[in-house]
Copies of this chain bind each other. A is one copy, B any other.
Amino acid sequence: MNPTDLQAAELAQDHVNGERLLEAISSLASFGGRDDGGVSRQTLTEVDLASRRYLIDQARSMGCEVGIDECANLFFRRPGLDNDLPPVLTGSHADTQPVGGTLDGAYGVIAGLEVIAALNDAGIQTLRPIEVVAWTNEEGSRFGPGTMGSSAFVEPARLAEYRGSRDGDGISFGEALDSALAAVSDVPRLAMARPMASYVELHIEQGPILEAENVPLGVVDGIQSVRWYRVECQGTMAHAGTTPMDRRNDAMATAHRVAQRLYEFAAAEAATQVRLTLGRWLVEPNSVNTIPGRVEFTIDVRCVDEAVLDRFEAMLNETINTQVASPATVTATCFFRRASTKFPEHMQRLVEKACTRAATLAGRKLPITLTSGAFHDAMYLVDHCPTSMIFVPSIDGVSHNASEATAPDDLVLGAQALAYTVAALASS
């Protein structure tokens, strides 16, 4: 970083206005705001469309150009000195779970706009343009799958399939998208997959690590690898009273023995930080005095190290083919997998520098590096341009819940770290 870049970055960071940031978070939260403090703003619903109009008006009032692409991803652009250069992109998503909080996604979008406001206040003109994005349908709760906007942006061919996805009322994503685009006919259309210089996403951690370490800022080095499996155990339904233990084919007892092996694997591999969840269970006939004839359960297994998941899969396949699984017939099917995401080293170092300065000035503990357990839009952007993420703590590690919260001071520090990072990237 040359002296000018450094100066711009520090100036931007120092001009972040905490009060304005927190007010803007509250204002966006009023779209779909709930009495319990949560937010219900699923993608492309009426309240989501209203919040998009609000964001467009806010951005324009700050001097931004506004554009939208075919997947209704919204871009707010602050011009640079050389507008032929690919822009630095920041932001996140503004849609929520059916019952979500005020921060998941929204925080990254609002903080991006605060960075632009800080640059305006500081009177800084960056070399590159800066764009703030609000990705469409990150949550995937109304239309599956999630991260539609970011994944379609980097690979537009995905959009055709996404358009066919339907919500619970039978409305297709394509129909909802066309309505959303028609509602902002005043906004120019932008190309998908446009070149970007870099992408930085600020997000709440949605986990307990930063809080437990009492650290306000986290440098995200990547996103864990994940695999989902469906394990089906087929036994024989029989009378709980009349069937001796040695003549049973109890699907639950078998499922239990298989699960035992999986939990043992997770315990033995604890040092790898592997995460194992057996979250969804279907038991038939699910009656107190009938031996279960069929049990199905899901596995969600994640790890930074892909090799651990390979070992897990080998162990799972070996388990269901041994006598642990008998006498039931056991099958395991992988129905979702995504390899781990690694953010570039130079991006992590820049984020670390930004976080270190913000934390130091605030008299707080230095940032730590951690890996995201959840998916984010950054997971797809990393295929498109150098990408990084910054995390702030989640109180009690809670998210996807009305009680989702982060200490206001931490929210401000996160926006400061983002301002430094974006300004530095836009200066070279």
Contacts and interface: CB of A to CB of B under 8 A. Distances in A.
A228 B288 contact: yes
Contacts of A212: 247
Interface residues of A, number: 56
A286 B281 contact: yes
B287 A243 contact: no
A390 B270 CA distance: 57
A416 B259 CA distance: 50
A280 B291 contact: no
Interface stretch (A155-163, A233-241, A353-361, A420-428): A233-241
A362 interface: no
A250 B270 contact: no
Contacts of A247: 208, 212, 397
A335 to B, nearest CB: 9
Count of chain copies: 2
Given A228-B288, A289-B300, A242 B279 contact: no
A277 B250 contact: yes
A208 B298 contact: no
Interface stretch (A16-24, A68-76, A82-90, A368-376): A368-376
Given A209-B244, A243-B373, A270-B246, A286 B291 contact: no
A88 to B, nearest CB: 27
A286 B279 contact: yes
A378 interface: no
B288 A241 contact: no
A114 interface: no
A228 B205 CA distance: 43
10 contacts: A207-B239, A239-B399, A241-B372, A242-B374, A250-B277, A253-B263, A277-B288, A279-B283, A279-B289, A281-B283
Interface of A: 205-209, 212, 224, 226, 228, 238-247, 250, 252-253, 256, 259-260, 263, 266, 270, 273-281, 283, 286-292, 298, 300, 302, 372-375, 397-400
